[in-house]
């Protein structure tokens, strides 16, 4: 699919990223600074996300993947996990009404088995409802871990070998790529992480191999569409060599 630029962005970029990954970090610190509970930070984070998705649609970005809940986030206090799950459920439910207006396609990536039945059912509904939209594809990484994704892919490949559908000698990078939750999607071109942290935190380990990384000290709830445009614009100024010269 070709990029459909619907709006000019500040500094004219040479290229738009096809796929932007976002590690939405800093909700807790945002709340703490205001003397609010962490849940308020997550709630403000969900609002920030809505605006960024609208912006991505306007710019004609094809894929956005956001890190909403990692396989490690279960270690958080039970009430915080519960709140995050209710926020995610709400987001998926409202996507039916709101986000479809943005023409967004919603997909959820990660291991679903550990999620509540209600969330699993809602994921199926929301994915079905938005599947024919033609705007940005928003992957919500939920109970997602890069290592888990690769492990899952290895298991699937082994199963194919075991039932005689695949020869070991035929396994190549495309085979692995085709078994990831993001199969059929391009690699991440631009990875954004907020809140001044400069780690990957088990996010899309395979897909970020050649991603340009962009960091900001802003906390996620403070991250504005103008910041997103700034990151996209800087991406366009960078020279990517993919290992060449």
Would you please indicate which residues are annotated as catalytic (active-site) residues?
25, 73
The DSSP code for 8 is -
Q: Return the residue of 26, 110, 145, 146 that touches ligand FPP, per CB under 6 A.
A: 26
Q: In the complex, what is the shortest distance from the CB of residue 96 to ligand FPP, in angstroms, rounded to a whole number? A: 14
Q: Which is nearer to ligand FPP, 13 or 21 (CB)?
A: 21
Q: Which is nearer to ligand FPP, 68 or 211 (CB)?
A: 68
Q: Which is nearer to ligand FPP, 103 or 174 (CB)?
A: 103
121-150 residues near ligand FPP, rule: CB under 6 A: 140
Asked if 27 is part of the footprint of ligand FPP (rule: CB under 6 A), the reply reads: yes
Count of residues engaged in binding ligand FPP, rule: CB under 6 A: 19
Q: Return the residue of 46, 100, 106, 231 that touches ligand FPP, per CB under 6 A.
A: 46
- How far is Cα of residue 7 from the mean position of the Cα atoms in its chain? 22
Q: Which is nearer to ligand FPP, 3 or 74 (CB)?
A: 74
Sheet containing 19-23, strands listed edge to edge, beginning at the edge strand earlier in sequence? 105-109, 137-144, 63-70, 19-23, 190-193, 212-215
> Do 80 and 37 form a contact (C-beta atoms < 8 A)?
no
Cα(122)–Cα(127) distance, integer angstroms = 8
Helix pair angle (78-97, 38-59), 10° resolution: 30
Q: Return the residue of 21, 45, 145, 146 that touches ligand FPP, per CB under 6 A.
A: 45
Asked if 189 is part of the footprint of ligand FPP (rule: CB under 6 A), the reply reads: no
> Do 194 and 218 form a contact (C-beta atoms < 8 A)?
yes
Cα(245)–Cα(242) distance, integer angstroms = 8
Q: Which is nearer to ligand FPP, 16 or 66 (CB)?
A: 66
Write down the H helix ranges in 34-166.
38-59, 78-97, 117-130, 146-162
Q: Return the residue of 9, 18, 40, 42 that touches ligand FPP, per CB under 6 A.
A: 42
Residue whose token pair is 């969900």: 46
Q: In the complex, what is the shortest distance from the CB of residue 66 to ligand FPP, in angstroms, rounded to a whole number? A: 6
**Which burial class, exposed, middle or buried, applies to 4 when counting CB atoms under 10 A from its CB (0-12, 13-18, 19+)?**
exposed
Q: In the complex, what is the shortest distance from the CB of residue 15 to ligand FPP, in angstroms, rounded to a whole number? A: 27
56-115 residues near ligand FPP, rule: CB under 6 A: 66, 68, 73, 87-88, 91
Q: Where on the chain is the footprint of ligand FPP (CB under 6 A)?
A: 24-29, 42, 45-46, 49, 66, 68, 73, 87-88, 91, 140, 195, 220
């Amino acid at each position: 699919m070709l990029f459909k630029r619907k709006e000019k962005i500040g500094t004219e970029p040479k290229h738009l990223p096809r796929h932007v990954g976002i590690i939405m970090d800093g909700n807790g610190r945002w709340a703490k600074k205001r003397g609010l509970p962490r849940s308020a930070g997550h709630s403000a984070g969900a609002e920030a996300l809505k605006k960024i998705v609208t912006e991505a649609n306007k710019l004609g970005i094809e894929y956005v993947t956001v890190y909403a809940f990692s396989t490690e986030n279960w270690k958080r206090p039970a009430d915080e996990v519960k709140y995050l799950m209710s926020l995610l459920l709400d987001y998926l439910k409202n996507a039916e009404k709101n986000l479809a207006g943005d023409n967004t396609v919603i997909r959820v990536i990660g291991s679903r088995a550990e999620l509540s039945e209600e969330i699993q059912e809602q994921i199926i509904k929301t994915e079905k409802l938005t599947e024919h939209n033609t705007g940005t594809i928003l992957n919500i990484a939920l109970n997602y871990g890069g290592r888990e994704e690769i492990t899952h892919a290895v298991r699937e490949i082994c199963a194919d070998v075991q039932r005689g559908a695949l020869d070991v000698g035929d396994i190549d990078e495309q085979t692995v790529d085709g078994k990831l939750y993001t199969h059929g999607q391009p690699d991440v071109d631009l990875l954004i992480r907020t809140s001044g942290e400069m780690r990957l935190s088990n996010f899309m380990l395979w897909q970020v191999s050649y991603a340009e990384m962009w960091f900001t000290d802003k906390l996620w709830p403070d991250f504005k569409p103008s910041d997103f445009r700034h990151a996209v614009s800087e991406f366009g100024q960078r020279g990517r060599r993919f290992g060449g010269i």
